[in-house]
Structure 1
Amino acid sequence: MTDTVDLFVIGGGINGAGIARDAAGRGLSVVLCEKDDLAEGTSSRSGKLVHGGLRYLEYYEFRLVREALIEREVLMSAAPHIIWPLRFVLPHSPLDRPAWLVRLGLFLYDNLGGRKKLPGTRTLDLRRDPEGAPLLDKYRKGFEYSDCWVDDARLVTLNAVDAAERGATVLTRTACTSARREDGAWAVTTTNSRTGETREFRARVIVNAAGPWVSDVIQRVAGANSSRNVRLVKGSHIIVPKFWSGPQCYLLQNHDKRVIFVNSYEGDKALIGTTDIAWEGRAEDVEADPSEVEYLLDAVNRYFKEKLRPEDVVQTFSGVRALFDDGQGNPSAVTRDYVFDLDETGGAPILNVFGGKITTFRELAERGIHKLKHLFPDMGRDWTHKAALPGGDIPKADYDAFRDQLKTDYPWMSRDLREHYGRLYGARTAMIVGDAKSLDGLGRHFGGTLFEAEARYLSAHEWAQTAEDILWRRTKHRLHLSKAEQAAFAAWYDDTLAKVA
């Protein structure tokens, strides 16, 4: 049996999930196909920021920064549970960019995007202000500015959830094994890697949002061509115990003109990154190497009194960003903008997506769909700019007030558990808790804030099919459970949920 759809989207990262959501909300029939788990590639391996990209100003990417800053405001309203404000401290180093240039950049950053919700930049006396306490005494002046945190993997999943609730079919661990033009449409075959099941689809349009694999889909799967190319750039991060007091994060200038983010992470940890290295290998094989770990530790130790050592590193992760190849030699200078390539050969269009960044995914999706308007003249209007993502529909997008409501609704929960549910699931917390009136009602406790009820919810509603899907991408429980607790959860999952996932 062959299913007929308007749009067949390849790639379950942020761009593919965003496009599927946008299209489904316009009334198009959509299939989203991902060969692995949602966000398993690049989209779960970012610096976890919704930001304009302060350093892009140095490369004169003013339009990109402006659009990203505008999107920052849109996304804060759409998903206030997984996106929230941060303040970054930028210590001034006289050996790097001059203070006037930094201040000019921050002035532009404050004003390019019509900032309404976040406080602006202020100058710090690092000898007196508490934000300077962890820093070496030689850093006397600094600046503090605003950006936002995001749970990147959940952002992808929530887009997929919204797409599915608007009628899209979401297929995970299902590769598009072939696509051929046939009588003005695409004949598409998919294969599920877990079950071996194959399915046939007839699609009016293919959207290729495969990220690092975009060229592979064009050439190997679809047998097509494109004049566009991607530049694969490897970015690595390290996770260490948090080594300073206060909610602030830090942005450090390095000698090579790169900047390093030092972010509070998961309460008691710090996320440090990223590197920018040209990558020539398979995207599946990427991992942080010792030289990158050393590079990040050296950058931090140049600024902070407490010195980090390799043995302080709790975990590393690395991702490959598929950037549009604009011919720049320096990986840091390669544009983070996106480009579309629409090939309508034989009356069977394929829209290839090159580049992009997580902050501008919604706009990318909207503009990508605009490229297809002539093919679907009756589709609905733009809608995502004012729509909440699942769980984000809390009153007035005010998370602090929502936190108080959770305390009233669930007084029997610990503060950590309420915050965990609130930050990941927002207004959908009740779907996990159900009729529970005590911790016993949440089922088996695996350690930390992980209870059986959450695992069952993720398996039933968010395509979690392995213990790793839950412990690392849908949540970050892996960072808070011992090895024994992780093993116990994996054994329970395999015995109870894996058979129905």
Structure 2
Amino acid sequence: MADYDLAIIGGGLNGVSLARDAAGRGLRVILFEQGDLASAASSASSRLIHGDLAALERRNLLRVRAALTERDVWLRTAPHLVRPLRFAIPAHSDERPLWLLRAGLLLYDRLVPRPKLPRSATVDVTHHPLGNALKRPLGTAFEYSDCVVDDSRLVILTARDAAERGADICTGARCVRADRTEQWRLAVIDRGHRRIVTSRALANASGGWTAQVAETVLRMPLPVARIHQMSQIVVRRLFETDNVYVFQNRDQRLIFASPYQRDFTLIGTTGHVFKGDPAVVTTAAADVAYLCQAANRYFREQIGSSDVVKTVAGANMVVGPASEDGMEVAAVRLDRRRRQAPLITMFGGEVTSARARAEHAVATLSPFYPMTPRWTATAPLPGGDFEWNRFEEQVERARWRWRFLTEGEAHRLFAAYGTRLPEVLGDAKNRAELGPYFGPDLSAAEVRHLMTREWARFPDDVLWRRTKLGLSISDEDREALALFMARGGL
């Protein structure tokens, strides 16, 4: 008998979503991630949970409606991580005409299955806070509703839910060989130790490494595929509102500028084919210049490469035709052969559709062994068991319980942990009871929680994927954090 029903290679959003769905259906699941969870493309996404206006423009109405349906699912199941915001498209005289933008957003409203968020509206930005950061003569903008998400924490909490449902999540574990018979026999280097694991099915969800895993580990041919890179930049905050600006660029792409970690603005994305090692993907100078120029067409405050405080880049495997507009960014392939264990290969995909994509992938295994019905559309992620429109009320409750928290601290902590926040802060009556601090916001109690419950091993795991506090911590505090973690949180 095999050790597991499903083994998964890759700890990005696709991999952990597979693990969660399968474990919740009663399968024995193990996941191997060679580094840290969300350490590649899954922490470099656009951070948008949306219906995809670009697909609307291509008249792919079914895709837009499906994405808007998933947006509502995320609001219901991860209300601490997924926050609804108003998006604003300033009307530029050189771009799409006003009537086209208005008609498109009216259709966007109509495609929402069960409207929960405010509908689109036309705004005179000459008499509205939206216009304070914009150039003149931009006088009209169109507002609509969509959501943003903390992408890397979405991965972490999905993995945690999978683990609580019985899945084994192994970070720092690299699968080096997979032999296929009636079951898979996997050789894994797990934190320096070699182990053998058997499984009735295998999923290759290794993102930018999909082709490499297929060639070197599985020793199987891969369908025509290529690596696609997405890049973003982080600059100082360019506007005071909580809106997300959507800019129409000269090449017809949409560029998003959104609030990021209170004091910064995230601008992106630009994409192109990537050649090289996905482990060392970086944002090219041309991509930085492109995003700066796109923002400078609209914002009063001009930015250049010297204003970029951080670049964010990730690469994922996509399949489909070579043309940028027609590429198939997500796919699930099932390889089934007589008397051989099944293989699932997952390519690409947006954050919005991750849950449904995993649900479909796990369902392809139903002919091989029985499983319980689909369930993830209604089950909240850890900490998400409250109504999405009561987020601020929950933050105020946290401030009442832990009165030493500032408003900003309470907001950040509840957005990260939701109703599981007591696991982090316990019954602390003051800041001193949380131990030493690394920078203004990160306490020893929180770091211990991330190490014991969320697989954090190194400072970057904490600073860039689980908290995103890396922009506000000094070198001295980073060194203190590294020493604290090396001592096991002592």
Both structures adopt the same fold (TM-score exceeding 0.5): yes
Q: CA deviation at 1:393?
A: 1.2
Q: CA deviation at 1:433?
A: 0.9
Matches within 5 A, 1:2-401: 4-182=3-181, 184-192=182-190, 195-226=191-222, 228-325=223-320, 327-330=321-324, 332-377=325-370, 379-394=371-386, 398-401=390-393
Q: CA deviation at 1:396?
A: 6.6
Is 454-463 or 215-224 further displaced after alignment? Answer: 215-224
**Contact 2:175 2:217 (C-alpha < 8 Å) held by counterparts:** yes
Distance change in 2, residues 1:62/1:341 (3 Å): farther
Deviations 1:120-171 (A, max 9, x none): 1101112222212211112122101111110000001111000000000000
3-state SS of the aligned residue for 1:4?
Answer: coil
Structure 1 runs of 4+ aligned residues shifted over 4 Å read none
3-state SS of the aligned residue for 1:314?
Answer: strand
**Contact 1:77 1:397 (C-alpha < 8 Å) held by counterparts:** no
Distance change in 2, residues 1:276/1:345 (3 Å): farther
Counterpart AA for 2:262: G
**Contact 1:236 1:275 (C-alpha < 8 Å) held by counterparts:** yes
Give the Cα separation in 1 of the matches to 2:114 and 2:128: 25
3-state SS of the aligned residue for 2:352?
Answer: helix
3-state SS of the aligned residue for 1:288?
Answer: coil
**Contact 1:78 1:389 (C-alpha < 8 Å) held by counterparts:** yes
Give the Cα separation in 1 of the matches to 2:311 and 2:42: 15
**Contact 1:36 1:172 (C-alpha < 8 Å) held by counterparts:** yes
Q: CA deviation at 1:37?
A: 0.4
Q: CA deviation at 1:338?
A: 2.8
Q: Does 1:484 align with 2:482?
A: no
Q: CA deviation at 1:455?
A: 0.3
Unaligned runs of 5+ in 2: none
* Aligned match of 2:467: 475
Give the Cα separation in 2 of the matches to 1:356 and 1:385: 18
Counterpart AA for 1:415: E
Counterpart AA for 2:390: D
Counterpart AA for 2:75: M
**Contact 2:245 2:257 (C-alpha < 8 Å) held by counterparts:** yes
**Contact 1:230 1:355 (C-alpha < 8 Å) held by counterparts:** no
**Contact 1:20 1:168 (C-alpha < 8 Å) held by counterparts:** yes
Give the Cα separation in 1 of the matches to 2:247 and 2:195: 50
Deviations 1:314-366 (A, max 9, x none): 111111132222x1422x54233433233335321101112321111110111
Distance change in 2, residues 1:344/1:437 (3 Å): farther
Give the Cα separation in 2 of the matches to 1:97 and 1:158: 39
**Contact 1:64 1:337 (C-alpha < 8 Å) held by counterparts:** no
**Contact 1:49 1:148 (C-alpha < 8 Å) held by counterparts:** yes
**Contact 2:204 2:346 (C-alpha < 8 Å) held by counterparts:** yes
Unaligned runs of 5+ in 1: none
Give the Cα separation in 1 of the matches to 2:124 and 2:328: 34
Deviations 1:239-272 (A, max 9, x none): 1111212111200000011111000111111000
Counterpart AA for 1:17: V
Q: CA RMSD in A?
A: 1.7
Give the Cα separation in 2 of the matches to 1:107 and 1:402: 33
Give the Cα separation in 2 of the matches to 1:397 and 1:15: 28
Give the Cα separation in 2 of the matches to 1:396 and 1:413: 22
Counterpart AA for 2:487: D
Distance change in 2, residues 1:130/1:417 (3 Å): closer
Deviations 1:197-218 (A, max 9, x none): 1121110000111111122222
Counterpart AA for 1:190: V
Deviations 1:419-453 (A, max 9, x none): 22101001111001123211111011111210000
Q: CA deviation at 1:115?
A: 4.3
Give the Cα separation in 2 of the matches to 1:269 and 1:345: 55
**Contact 2:79 2:388 (C-alpha < 8 Å) held by counterparts:** no
3-state SS of the aligned residue for 1:85?
Answer: strand
Counterpart AA for 1:211: G
Q: CA deviation at 1:3?
A: 6.5
Distance change in 2, residues 1:278/1:395 (3 Å): closer
Give the Cα separation in 2 of the matches to 1:242 and 1:396: 26
Is 402-411 or 447-456 further displaced after alignment? Answer: 402-411
